[in-house]
Chain A
Amino acid sequence: MSLSDKAWSPYAAGIVIGMLQIPAFLLIETALGASSSYVTAGAALVGLVDPSLLQIDYVARHVAANAKNLWQVALVMGIALGAFASMKLSGAVRASVSPIWTTALGSSSRPLRYAVAFVAGFLMLFGARIADGCTSGHGLSGMAQLSVGSTVAVAAMFAGGIVTALLLLRRV
């Protein structure tokens, strides 16, 4: 297992990710999560144009410049850096859109893929904020903490994902 490998075993990578709970709980007193950073970043931006958004309690809690909010925004930005570094070290060259989409969508149209991606992102975050967590917060962290609500949320996530992929996407 080296830093220049094209792929690690999913078990090794999963252990590395699970270990990140140590600094999260000890330094930030929180669990790994990703989706609230979208509220912090999105609401801070839109708040510049519509300050009334920042008056909503929920938004005020998320845009407050405290360690926990900024930690998560920094975390997701770090994810992009880490993935970039790993790709460069492995010498992998990627197409600008994954080739699976031509099969899955039944079309090689870029505008179609971009439109689907935008709608998908919207659904992802709207759903994650209703559920109060995503694959990281409910999935990795909630299940590790034996949270009852998180287990329900993860079951719903996979159910929604499986039904959507079977009904709307072609077999890749």
Chain B
Amino acid sequence: MSSVAVGILSGVLMGIVFGFALEKSRVFEPGMIVGQMQLRNWIMLKVFLSAVATGAVVLAFLHGFGFAKLQPKAALYAADIVGGLILGAGIALAGACPGTTLAQIGVGYRDAIFTLLGGLSGAVAFSYAQPWLAKSLISSGPKLIFTELVGIPYWQGALALAAVIIVILFLIERLRPWRADLGSNFDGNVSGKASPRDRLAPAE
């Protein structure tokens, strides 16, 4: 099989697992994402940090035993900050991020189609502006990772990060159990402000 065919096939299969986990965790719900940004719903941070810790452990082994090379992005501080702020504003107003937008489309959220169209437009607008932005704002930088700064092997730092995250998650879970953030319809709508009809409305 050609490498392109392997790429497409593995992409679809991995995406199905990814989308399944996003839906089951409920993190793709606008209620969860807006709630997280309003600091009253913690499901998004819990899913996110669990995935980061798992990825760190996995990569500590894959990299430590020489099965994989790390692929860190270059540190471009101005671009990381400006881009990150704009991206964050978009995430709050979309109630989604670039990946979860597709999960929202999968479950039939109609506004997510507009998020997707806006996203494609934003990506194209950036593409037109890229030659200019690359020279001004984005520039170039080193592919820097924290363990290089302190001079220890990556696997040690990765396992330490995972350990710290596990402690943080235990503390957050004690303060705010995850079931309390689900809402009666599992969509993070815990305010009870919506009418019962809204909450049980069938797909139109």
Residues of A within 8 A of B (CB): 5-32, 34-35, 38-39, 41-43, 45-46, 53, 56-59, 62, 65-68, 70-87, 90, 92-104, 113-166, 168-169, 171-172
Contact = CB atoms under 8 A, between A and B. Distances in A.
**Of B19, B22, B157, B189, most A-chain CB atoms within 10 Å:** B19
Given A28-B11, A66-B3, A72-B11, 11 more contacts: A10-B27, A14-B46, A25-B67, A26-B62, A70-B4, A95-B201, A97-B111, A130-B126, A141-B55, A144-B161, A149-B144
Q: Which 5 A-B pairs have the closest CB atoms?
A: A78-B15, A14-B50, A18-B54, A160-B88, A82-B19
Contact of B189 (A96, A98, A149): A98
B18 A161 contact: no
A101 B92 CA distance: 11
Given A25-B71, A45-B120, A131 B89 contact: no
Nearest to A16: B21
A26 to B, nearest CB: 6
A90 to B, nearest CB: 8
Contact of A146 (B39, B57, B81, B157): B157
Interface string B14-33: 11111111111111111100
B71 to A, nearest CB: 5
B171 interface: no
What's the dominant secondary structure at chain B's contact region? helix
Contacts of A29: 68-69, 71
B186 A6 contact: yes
Interface in B22-72: 22-31, 34-40, 43, 46-59, 62, 67-72
Contacts of B62: 21-22, 25-26
B90 A123 contact: yes
A86 B20 contact: yes
Contacts of B137: 130
A166 B34 CA distance: 10
B128 A53 contact: yes
A161 B84 CA distance: 9
A131 B83 contact: yes
Interface in B146-204: 146-147, 149, 154, 157-158, 161, 169, 178, 182, 186-189, 191, 193-194, 198-204
B98 A98 contact: no
A59 B130 CA distance: 9
24 contacts: A8-B21, A10-B25, A11-B46, A15-B54, A35-B123, A42-B119, A62-B127, A73-B11, A77-B102, A96-B109, A120-B92, A130-B137, A131-B82, A132-B80, A139-B48, A139-B52, A144-B52, A147-B144, A148-B145, A157-B88, A161-B91, A162-B37, A164-B88, A164-B93
Contact of B73 (A6, A18, A104, A132): A132
Nearest to A65: B4
B107 A81 contact: no
Contact of A11 (B13, B40, B50, B204): B50
Contact of B29 (A78, A81, A98, A146): A98
A147 B12 contact: no
A129 B83 contact: yes
A70 B203 CA distance: 32
Nearest to A135: B97
A42 B128 CA distance: 12
A5 B56 CA distance: 28
Given A39-B127, A86-B23, A153-B83, A23 B10 contact: yes
